[in-house]
Chain A
Amino acid sequence: MTTPTARETVLGRIRDALALAPAPDTVIPRNYRTGRTLPDGERLALLTDRLVDYRATVHPCTADRTAEVVAGILNERGARRIGVPDGLDERWLGAYDGEVRRDSADVPAPSLDALDGVVTASAVSCAETGTIFLDGSPDQGRRALSLVPDLHVCVVDLSSVVAGVPEAVARLVPERPTTLISGPSATSDIELERVEGVHGPRTLAVVIRTDA
């Protein structure tokens, strides 16, 4: 007889435990709020309120003004060299006159530290919690790109903003590498005093396109 592997042992222990202390089947009550919808104006107001609370900056605009608003944010922050995911709509950068580097997997992640900022799209946003979901789609890029630079300009279409967490989770593709962002990075580790900006981007600017 061979010695059982750790896997066999642990699974065997679990079965033993469940035999020693059997428990009845559990029914999961899911009568919390799901499938909620809110009018455009309310979703915009709620998301804006939450983002401002997290000390992100919010820039609502119509889709035709995207390039102008994006360039305005980058210039105001003094970002002269930015990175973008390979699949980002190039028209969004039409009004920006700084250097634009299109990202690819073979760019070593540490070299992203030399960028002043990054511009990405987003997959879904949750109004009630002020959370933006990035899922690694071509217009959002790999995770390192939206992490290493100190300024993240994120474009959110109002049509992709949902009311609550269940509505947002339902829109995700589970297997994609997904990042949930609720404001700039923060810590409360020193005497519980909130400090914005530790390792992630210290500035988060959200462009909400109200007709897209």
Chain B
Amino acid sequence: MSTFLGMPTAPPRSPYGTGHLRGDRTFPEAAHDELRNEQLRRNLGRATRTIRTKRLDVTGELPDWEQLRDAGSAIKTDTMNRLPELLEQLERKVTERGGTVHWARDGVEANEIVTRLIRATGSSDVIKVKSMATQEIGLNEHLEAAGITPYETDLAELIVQLADDRPSHILVPAIHRNRDEIRQIFLDEIPGVDPDLDNVPAHLAAAARAYLREKFMTTRVAVSGANFGIAETGTLAVVESEGNGRMCLTLPDTLITVMGIEKVLPRHQDLEVFLQLLPRSSTGERMNPYTSMWTGVTPGDGPQDFHLVLLDNGRTAALADAIGREALNCIRCSACLNVCPVYERAGGHAYGSTYPGPIGAVLTPQLAGMHAAKNDPNSSLPYASSLCGACFDACPVKIDIPSMLVELRHQHTEQSGTTAEKLAMKAAAAVMSRPTLFTAAQKAASLGRAVGGRDGTVPRLPAPFGGWSDSRDLAAPPKQSFRAWLSSAEGAETMRAAAEEGAGRTADTPEEDR
């Protein structure tokens, strides 16, 4: 609720239990299973390696790449600062050009709006362009429950939909499937498909073309997302490769576009930055094969009934977080996924959210929160990172993902109350501040050698520290502490010898080498 007396209230997150912004188990639990899937790891390793190389090639050939990143980052930050006026301007322009604008507080409301609009056309089928926003709010499930059949038309989304699977990558959602699996899915699920279909990607793509062609020609309603919405002109843009987007945006009578409120851009000119940043960062191409731009309704060309649904669903909650709001600058290129060592091994499903990888680990908790329930799986996402910083380097709009992860970890610890870790830290602080106690504790610790193995490591710690040693060995404590050694006769002798050697060297060293 907005306030009336000038006292701002924190906006709500995406409602708990709706959409696809939370898994049903924590990241480590899910990753544990995914890591056993060798097929997945092989596909992901190969795919992310390929895109990484392509991206570096095409970003490296632009001498002004860093300047473009600076501009992109600043445009997005400026957009967030001026969001109310920009959205009102976008609404005005779209309306002037014959479109209708709807506002949705959350995913549930957006789903209801889209369902109502489709029902009003009398159609029971809808063709869909790949869209993160409609995936996030679970639109397909909602439509199916309402008796409307959604057809995903992006090849990878089609594969995922036919297999009753979940996307695992922002850009290539079926990256976890190989050609044999895809062939089998098509044989099982596409009515009338050639039973002799082989596993050649070109033939699989041709089978999808034939299947979807009929849908494109006969379905009267389409649902899309949007990469950009230009406030100045009311123009919307969809960036794609296959032409399924052009089909959906052009052939039906009715087009319904669901756009997160953060996708607005101030000026048409801003496209000159993002049309360079996005394709090079996402597919590693100089330009993606197709981009469609439309402004409201154009008589005689394309859908004559156009609806734009502006979606909040936790975005305003992210905006209210001085650090977290940067996650809203994301343009969904997926470069951060492809460079992330954690994503490369665990895959997208482990994150439990529509938004996987490094950006997902910060965006998902911002949109849906981390403490909506006891042991909220989202609270494990900020830890799904080694903080290596590769994502920050790759991000075309310079989102500082590592700093945001650290901030979310801090927020999580603050929220978590008394934990074993907190108690242990408190005890350690008390001991370390008293020298006598500290020396005694060190002596006691050396008894821990008893549990060390022959290689001098402790393979498994007792509860509650067992989790830490699941994937690590702890070095067994040494016989004596450094302080004990230093005050021994052996320590004193070694130090004396080192001091003499050092003094000798200084005297012999020629002046210019110092």
A interface list, Cβ under 8 A from B: 4-21, 23, 25-34, 50, 53-54, 105, 109-110, 113, 126, 128-131, 136, 142-144, 147-148, 165-166, 169-170, 172, 174-193, 195, 197-201
Contacts and interface: CB of A to CB of B under 8 A. Distances in A.
B316 A10 contact: yes
A160 B223 CA distance: 34
B247 A165 contact: no
A191 B242 contact: no
A31 B511 CA distance: 48
Contact of B286 (A16, A142, A177, A182): A182
A50 B75 CA distance: 29
B201 A33 contact: no
B293 A178 contact: yes
Contact of A189 (B75, B172, B285): B172
Contacts of A193: 201
Interface of B: 1-3, 8-12, 43, 46-47, 50-51, 63-64, 67-68, 70-71, 74-75, 77-78, 80-81, 83-84, 87-88, 97, 102-105, 109, 153-156, 159, 172, 174-175, 178-179, 182, 201-202, 204-206, 208-209, 212-213, 216-218, 230, 232-235, 241-244, 246-247, 249-251, 261, 268-269, 271-273, 275-276, 279, 283, 285-295, 298-302, 310, 312, 316-317, 319-322, 325
B3 A12 contact: yes
A21 B80 CA distance: 11
Given A6-B103, A26-B77, A182 B287 contact: yes
Contact of B246 (A13, A21, A27, A147): A147
Given A182-B285, A184-B289, A190-B201, 11 more contacts: A6-B109, A9-B103, A11-B88, A32-B64, A105-B299, A170-B269, A175-B235, A179-B290, A189-B159, A189-B172, A199-B153
A117 to B, nearest CB: 15
Contacts of A148: 251
Given A129-B286, A143-B302, A33 B46 contact: no
B43 A191 contact: yes
A191 B301 contact: no
B317 A17 contact: yes
Top 10 A-B residue pairs of the complex, sorted by shortest distance between their CB atoms: A12-B2, A200-B243, A105-B300, A199-B243, A17-B320, A13-B316, A185-B243, A17-B319, A13-B11, A16-B8
Which of A4, A128, A190 is most buried by chain B, counting CB atoms within 10 A of its CB?
A190
A169 B271 contact: yes
A201 B247 CA distance: 11
Given A136-B301, A177-B301, A180-B291, A6 B104 contact: yes
24 contacts: A9-B103, A10-B316, A13-B11, A18-B319, A20-B10, A23-B77, A53-B286, A109-B250, A129-B286, A143-B249, A143-B292, A144-B302, A174-B235, A177-B294, A177-B295, A177-B302, A179-B291, A186-B242, A187-B156, A187-B241, A189-B205, A190-B201, A193-B201, A199-B246
Nearest to B283: A188
B397 to A, nearest CB: 12
A199 B70 CA distance: 35
Contacts of B205: 187, 189-190, 195, 197-198
A32 B71 contact: yes
Given A34-B272, A174-B268, A190-B201, A14 B83 contact: yes
Contact of B1 (A9, A109, A182, A184): A9
Contacts of A50: 286
Contact of B241 (A176, A188, A191): A188
Nearest to B110: A6
Given A16-B320, A198-B208, A183 B217 contact: no
Nearest to A167: B272
A33 B71 CA distance: 11
A192 B208 contact: no
B289 A181 contact: yes
B84 A14 contact: yes
B7 to A, nearest CB: 9
B251 A9 contact: no
Which of B1, B83, B241, B268 is most buried by chain A, counting CB atoms within 10 A of its CB?
B241
Nearest to A199: B243
B289 A182 contact: yes
B246 A175 contact: no
Contacts of A5: 103
B387 to A, nearest CB: 24
B24 to A, nearest CB: 27
Contact of A188 (B46, B172, B261, B302): B172
B290 A136 contact: no
Contacts of A188: 172, 241, 283
Nearest to B58: A129
A58 to B, nearest CB: 16
A137 B68 CA distance: 31
B407 to A, nearest CB: 13
A94 to B, nearest CB: 27
A174 B295 contact: yes
B67 A29 contact: yes
Contacts of A29: 67, 70-71, 74
Contact of A179 (B212, B242, B246, B283): B246
B247 A170 contact: no
Contacts of B241: 185-188, 198
A136 B242 CA distance: 20
A155 to B, nearest CB: 19
A88 B420 CA distance: 76
A140 to B, nearest CB: 10
A21 B104 CA distance: 23
Nearest to B178: A191
Nearest to B301: A142
B312 A13 contact: yes
Which of B103, B109, B287 is most buried by chain A, counting CB atoms within 10 A of its CB?
B287
Nearest to B50: A192
Given A20-B10, A174-B233, A198-B155, A14 B319 contact: yes
Contacts of A195: 201-202, 205
Given A177-B302, A185-B289, A11 B84 contact: yes
A30 B51 CA distance: 28
A16 B316 contact: yes
A198 B244 contact: yes
Contacts of A183: 289
B287 A130 contact: yes
A131 B64 CA distance: 19
